[in-house]
Amino acid sequence: MLQEEFRDALWEAVDELRGSVDTALYKELVLGLVVLRYLSASYDARRNELVDELTGQWEPEYRIGSILDDPEEYTFWLPEHARWSWIAANARNENTGRVLDAAMDAIMRANPSLAGALPTVFERAGIDQNQLASLVRLFQHTSAWSGEVYEYLLDAFARREGKRGGEFHTPQSVTQLVLDMLEPYQGRVYDPVCGSANMLVQAASFQRNHPSVYGQEANERTWRLARMNLLIHGIDADLSDRWADTLTADQHPRLQADFVLAHPPFNISDWPRDASDPRWVYGVPPAHNANYAWLQHVISKLTPTGTAAVILANGSLHSRHKAEAEIRRAMLEADLVSCIVALPPRLFPSTDIPACLWILDKDKSSRRNQILFIDAHEMGEMVRKAERVLTDADLANISGAYRAWRGSEQPYTNQPEFCYSATLEAVRDNDYALIPGLYVTPAPPPPNLMQDLYAIFDGPDFPPQSTADTTPSNESAITSAPDSNN
């Protein structure tokens, strides 16, 4: 874990820098510095390793120098003026931005695989160069640069921006739920709207050897954040060579993935649709809302045995718009929907819109024409005034129910107020609405509920002792009631 003192000092310095630049730019600046510090630390560690290997081998000094300066010996080669030791010694207040931009540019030139991945915006007008120099000095005094630092800052930025931003980042507990449901242990993983790539990073951790990771992002700065995130975690991923909108310019047109995970912006309106797009197999999505465009894009990317998880607004479950209702009906009749989870409110700092999780499956051989509904809308715990997280127990309950339903070692049973396995016929009877509350049964009343209620109102003498001369029996009361038809 990060040392609390370092974390607090780091965030305090970030806050100071934030006052002089817009929020989108300041994320890029700080996270770019984290990656620069990480690259330099990795370079230094490899160089020291080479020195240790060469010591005592009686190599001529010129030979040792040649090996140490061979770019092929390093994962990423850093020219001298891009190494942190040189930066720390030469970044002096008013020229800090120029030094950092030159370092970033030199690294990308020396390592073509990093082209476009690093920011070169430190010398822009409006950036307080003195504060930037202070941040460089702070970064100089620790070696704790890793993906953990990057993830902490991403979470902190998302919380700080709240509804003003945060769409670039999926909260950790939601990411964990998606991965617990999919379990992407082997195969291609794809995120068509990858944001800062935190879901891809976590998905790659499921795969021990050479994860196969693909993604796309529409926003230039967020695409750069994603590439840096994957870089600092040591993940070789294909995010294409530039940013682009997946719905209008798919950068992986021939990709077929074993696992697709997606958290698109909710309810995008007025998106530039093409009615002739071959992805719209189940119907042309309406121009006023892209939810069913995302669902069909995801389906188009799945292998014949592929599985997907898509986070969408709750409105996607029951929209009565003609085009959306028809697409939903066609998807259900094609037996593509495996599970629907109603999520609790306030999981996403960027929106108050209620959300749900769709699990799509190209191969439901063990559950033909069945859908699992999970009602988790009351789960989670508040950790801040406006932020809820799913607990470990919540995650285990939700994913455990789904895995049992799919045929794990644990047997599946319907649970009142939590989960229910419905037939396609039952869904047809509800006009193809997918609201879990329509299917999940309520909890049965306690066995002694009426007796307990009488005891509350009538006291300990309940049940009252009946006497023949004062209290008629229930039977006589019913039979003596007047006929309402008379």
pLDDT in tens, 57-72: 766 777 888 999 999 9
Q: Are strands 387-389 and 381-384 parallel, antiparallel or unpaired?
A: antiparallel
Confidence of residue 480 (pLDDT cuts 50, 70, 90): very low
Instruction: List the end-to-end C-alpha distance of the chain, in Å, as a whole number.
Output: 80
- Tell me how far apart the alpha carbons of residues 372 and 415 are, in angstroms, rounded to a whole number: 11
SS3 letters for 57-77?
Answer: CCCCHHHHHHHHCCHHHCCCC
Q: What is the largest CA-CA distance in the chain?
A: 119
Listed in sequence order, the residues at least 6 apart from 411 whose beta carbon sits closer than 8 Å to its beta carbon are: 404
Which residues are bridge partners to 260 per DSSP?
A: 190, 308
What is 161-438's CATH number?
Answer: 3.40.50.150
pTM score of the predicted model: 0.87
Percent of the chain with pLDDT over 90: 66
pLDDT number for residue 1: 47
**For residue 290, how many other CB atoms are within 10 A of its CB?**
22
Task: Flag whether pLDDT at 243 surpasses 60.
Answer: yes
- Give pLDDT tens digits for 419-438: 999 999 999 999 999 999 99
The answer to whether the beta carbons of residues 435 and 374 sit under 8 Å apart is: no
Alpha helices in 273-391 (DSSP H): 291-300, 322-333
Average pLDDT over residues 69-80: 95
Give residue limits of the domains in the chain: 4-145, 161-438, 450-479
pLDDT of 486 reads: 38
Instruction: Tell which CATH classification among 1.20.1260.30, 3.90.226.30, 3.80.30.20, 3.40.50.920 matches the domain 4-145.
Output: 1.20.1260.30
pLDDT in tens, 307-337: 999 999 999 999 999 999 999 999 999 999 9
Instruction: Identify the sign of the CA torsion 327, 330, 332, 338.
Output: negative
Strand-strand pairing, 370-375 and 381-384: unpaired
* Identity at 388, one-letter amino acid code: R
pLDDT in tens, 260-301: 999 999 999 989 999 999 999 999 999 999 999 999 999 999
Tell me the C-alpha to C-alpha distance, in Å, between residue 39 and each of 146, 234, 372: 10, 11, 46
Place of tokens 């800052």: 153
